[in-house]
Amino acid sequence: MRRLILCLLLLTATTSFAEPTPQSTGYVQTPQIRLFYLIYGHPGKATPVIAVNGGPGLSHVYMVQNSVWPTLARNREVVLYDQRGTGRSTRVAPRAPQTMDAQVADLEALRAKLGFAKFDLVGDSFGGLIAMAYAAKYPQHVAHLVLSDSAPPAWKLMVHLLPDVFPDVEAEDAAAMKKLGNTDAAAQRSLIDHFRMIFYSPEKRDTYLANCHNLGYTPSVADAMSKSTASIDLTSALPHFHFPTLVITGRYDMNVAPLTAWRIAHMIPGAKFVVFEKSSHLPSYEQPHKYVATLNTFFAENRNHTATAP
């Protein structure tokens, strides 16, 4: 069945994890979009971070179901935002495109608004593809790049194993879709079934599902972005990345299998490859302490790195 790269659900739960309170929020206004962003932490000695969430079609909310980003923001600013058409970034101009070029332009507008000459760029899942596209166009602004269970630079390189590993859940989903038809109930059921398959720990999966809220999923955005990026291929850009790069994968990620991350890491000169042994597609949620420590160590080790073009 057709899936989002990081497919999170619209689920109203009886309990809810309280999203950590940001230090500030704001909007970037462009001719096409009013882009919402939030900032954890305060300006410090460390380079600021912008984290790009997965999807397509999701808001930033799935990223803040624990305290990973506020913890990372103890000595720096960490910025998250809602991609155009999702969450609180819904004031999109008529006929504004849903393309990778538009996503890159939005991220650059956010950087300019915040006045970051350089920043550390973290792309999660589908957000990794956006991060790669941004880094290819604006390498001068990227201090470090982190690709976390990222989509590949071209969809033809995708290694997606869920149908092979979860045939029972896939069959249940197919039966439900046949019964429910093309309805909102069917879409929600399909998302839930997908979500059941992207955790290593059943206990953490159940906790997440019990606590999560409406995560700002917009199907029309997901469909438009999926279509517009179907033929994208950034493979030739990766060997020209000359900033420190960290590629992260969950050992048991069947949504974007570790082979994808392995290939990405070997396309980028000097990239560091790190496996989270007790994670699937969400190591920032399943192993949050290791996730923060890994990013902090990577940023610190490469703090004095000066990228030079060949």
Q: Which phi and psi (to 5°) does residue 136 adopt?
A: -70, -35
Residues in contact with 22: Cβ distance below 8 Å, sequence separation at least 6, in sequence order: 38, 39, 40
CATH code of the domain containing 144: 3.40.50.1820
In this prediction, residue 304 carries a pLDDT of 61
Identify the pLDDT of residue 237: 98
Q: Show the low-confidence residues of the chain (pLDDT under 70).
A: 1-18, 184-185, 187-188, 190, 213-215, 304-310
Of the chain, the end-to-end C-alpha distance in Å amounts to 44
Q: Are 222 and 55 in contact (CB under 8 A)?
A: yes
Helix axes 184-195, 202-211, angle to 10 degrees: 150
CA dihedral 139, 60, 54, 219 (to 10 degrees): -130
123 occurs within a structural domain? yes
User: Does this model's pTM top 0.75?
Assistant: yes
- Say if 307 falls within a structural domain: no
Environment class of residue 252 by beta-carbon count within 10 Å: exposed (0-12), middle (13-18) or buried (19+)? buried
Q: Is residue 186 part of a domain?
A: no
Read off the pLDDT of residues 4-39 as tens digits, 9 standing for 90 and up: 444 333 333 333 456 789 999 999 999 999 999 999
Q: Is the residue at 51 inside a domain?
A: yes
What is the reported pLDDT for 214?
A: 66
Joined together, the tokens standing for residue 44 give 């410090």
- Kindly state whether residue 115 falls inside one of the protein's structural domains: yes
Rounded to the nearest 5 percent, the helix, strand and coil shares of the chain are: 40, 15, 40
- Residue 89 lies inside a defined structural domain of this protein: yes
The two tokens of residue 290 are 């290791």
Q: Containing domain of residue 86, as a range?
A: 24-162+213-301
Q: What is the pLDDT of residue 307?
A: 40
The radius of gyration of the chain from alpha carbons, rounded to an integer in Å, stands at: 18
Residue 286 lies in a domain: yes
Query: If you search the block for the tokens 């000359």, which residue do you land on?
Result: 242
**Domain contains 207:** no
104 phi and psi, to 5 degrees?
Answer: -65, -40
Angle, CA 79 vertex, CA 75 and CA 83 arms, to 5°: 170
Domain count, the chain: 1
pLDDT value of residue 90 = 92
Burial class (CB within 10 angstroms; exposed 0-12, middle 13-18, buried 19+) of 308: exposed
